[in-house]
Structure 1
Amino acid sequence: MGLCYSGTSYCGWQSQPGGCGVQDHLERALAQFLGCPTRTVCAGRTDAGVHALGQVVHFDVPLQREPSSWVRGVNAFLPRDIAVQWARTDLPTTFDARRSAYQRRYRYVLRNHPVRPALDHARVGWTHRPVDLDRLRAAAQCLLGEHDFSAFRSSECQAHSPVKTVQAIDIWREGDYLIFDLRANAFLHHMVRNIVGSLLAVGNGSKPVSWLAEVLASGDRRLAAPTFMADGLYFIGPDYPAEFNLPPTSTRIGLLI
């Protein structure tokens, strides 16, 4: 299944004892639709407050239904801010939502304006200081390729290795909005938010362009900028080999970008 959700009201993707995770709501909806409990596996866990445009999950059940039935049926039991976008029942048993993905993509949308957002509250990040786009792009170059990203890793991260490969970081401006688009084989806990926070320290002139490379090389989380707000962060989704022929994810975020 492909899912879209607003993360504002949830404590992240992962199931929690209090039932506040997106996974909890999805599995409750599946249980109501199926008449039996089932567990789901996702392509990438999102933090509390983080949104998703193309989260992908898989699960194994004995029940056969048409894809359209899965979409309509499960959506009938989901909250209004979580929606199944598509379903596939013809994938090979080798498909795994997490392990089959070869890269993942996040987008951070940031309002760069003296006044905080109102209608876009919780849907975009915000910084009031002027930000230089050329400085952002220059600093980001050092993050491309395979590196140890311990300096941008949360202390709660459960990943087996801090070494990840960043394929691309694209940064551009549309009106009052700055957009950061990051692609990597995988991301550490808080990695995108920590990178964006550190890039902004360079972009607003607080730190020199060379500072980001020094932070990366240090492997010391204490030297990087504070973790930036979750508002405005979107999990665009995973990419899979063409053989699976999964539907593409729209990258349009509501009426914004």
Structure 2
Amino acid sequence: MPRFALKIEYHGAGFAGWQRQKDHPSVQGAIETALAKLQPGDHTIAAAGRTDAGVHGLAQVAHCDLVKDWAPFRLSEALNYHLKDQRVAIVDCAPVTDEFHARFSATERRYLFRLISRRAPLTHERGLAWHIKHPLDADAMQAGADHLLGRHDFTTFRSSICQADSPVKTLDELRVEEIEIPNGVEYRFHVRARSFLHNQVRSFVGTLERVGAGAWAPGDVRRALDARNRAACGPVCPPEGLYLAGVTYPDDPFSQT
């Protein structure tokens, strides 16, 4: 059966997350329903990562197996036709070998978190960024973030319902970017690692926001990390500012498209 890699963009609002659920709309379910319009029957697609309710995708990657050997462009166009009423789009499609697996072949995942500081409520960016009213110190947040780089036991920054076998992960990048915008400031957190624990990025950002606000010192982040205790974590920030921004593979399936 021909296998295809799909690069997927989606707005997380209105979905109970990526993973298919029986009684709630999901991104996976929307795409599998669209696939069933092209090839009747049940479909199960595998993705590079499962995003939570309200989390967005800029470049999620999934793979699917079909009977027909579609031209990739025609497949993406057909899927987008059936997804037109959803906030989901196939932005690229490529044929891959049977050995390619969207999750297990990935060597790196990249996340972006957007936080906007301004007094007025968000309008155009509502639902697309975490809104706070107070200013933040980007340098202090970066100093706190630096304590998290490298290989650590991230129990403190792991959800109590996380199903990962081990809390030990290697964080390759956690970079804080400060951008002046009309009437406020946007802070972007660029996070990169091979894999992540459940709620790890949101736990990072919620903790670093406390550093930026002056409630924590940068060194408190290290003490929280060393505690290996979920109770030592700062607040977990809301999901609407989080985006799965990209996935890396040894051979990029989309490089020739």
Do these two structures clear the TM 0.5 threshold for a shared fold by scoring above it? yes
Range with bigger deviation, 110-119 or 129-138: 110-119
Which of 62, 83, 94 is 1:88 aligned to? 94
- Residue 219 of structure 1 is matched in structure 2 by 228
1:181-220 alpha-carbon deviations (Å, 9 max, x no partner): 0001111111111100000111110011110001111111
Aligned residue pairs, count: 246
1:31-69 alpha-carbon deviations (Å, 9 max, x no partner): 111122210000011010000000000122222110011
Identity %: 35
- Residue 135 of structure 1 is matched in structure 2 by 140
1:79-135 alpha-carbon deviations (Å, 9 max, x no partner): 33100111112x222111001111100001111112221221001111212100110
Query: Which structure 2 residues correspond to residues 229-248 of structure 1 after superposition, within 5 A?
Result: 229-241=238-250, 243-247=251-255
TM-score (norm 2): 0.92
Query: Which structure 2 residues correspond to residues 45-56 of structure 1 after superposition, within 5 A?
Result: 45-56=50-61
More strand by share: 2
Mapped partners of 1:230, 1:116: distance in 2: 17
- Residue 217 of structure 2 is matched in structure 1 by 208
Query: Which structure 2 residues correspond to residues 11-160 of structure 1 after superposition, within 5 A?
Result: 11-78=16-83, 79-89=85-95, 91-160=96-165
Which of 168, 190, 194 is 1:185 aligned to? 194
- Residue 251 of structure 1 is matched in structure 2 by none
Mapped partners of 1:8, 1:247: distance in 2: 30
Structure 1, unmatched stretches of 5+, are 249-257
Structure 2 SS opposite 1:76: helix
TM-score (norm 1): 0.92
The answer to whether the Cα contact below 8 Å between 2:92 and 2:254 also exists between their aligned partners in 1 is no
Residue 244 to residue 132, structure 1, CA distance change in 2 (3 Å) = closer
Structure 1 stretches of 4+ moved >3 Å: none
Mapped partners of 2:252, 2:78: distance in 1: 24
Structure 2 SS opposite 1:225: coil
Structure 2, unmatched stretches of 5+, are 1-5
Mapped partners of 1:211, 1:151: distance in 2: 12
The answer to whether the Cα contact below 8 Å between 2:157 and 2:199 also exists between their aligned partners in 1 is yes
Mapped partners of 1:246, 1:112: distance in 2: 36
Mapped partners of 2:253, 2:71: distance in 1: 17
Mapped partners of 1:247, 1:54: distance in 2: 14
Q: Which amino acid aligns with 1:208?
A: A
Range with bigger deviation, 80-89 or 4-13: 80-89
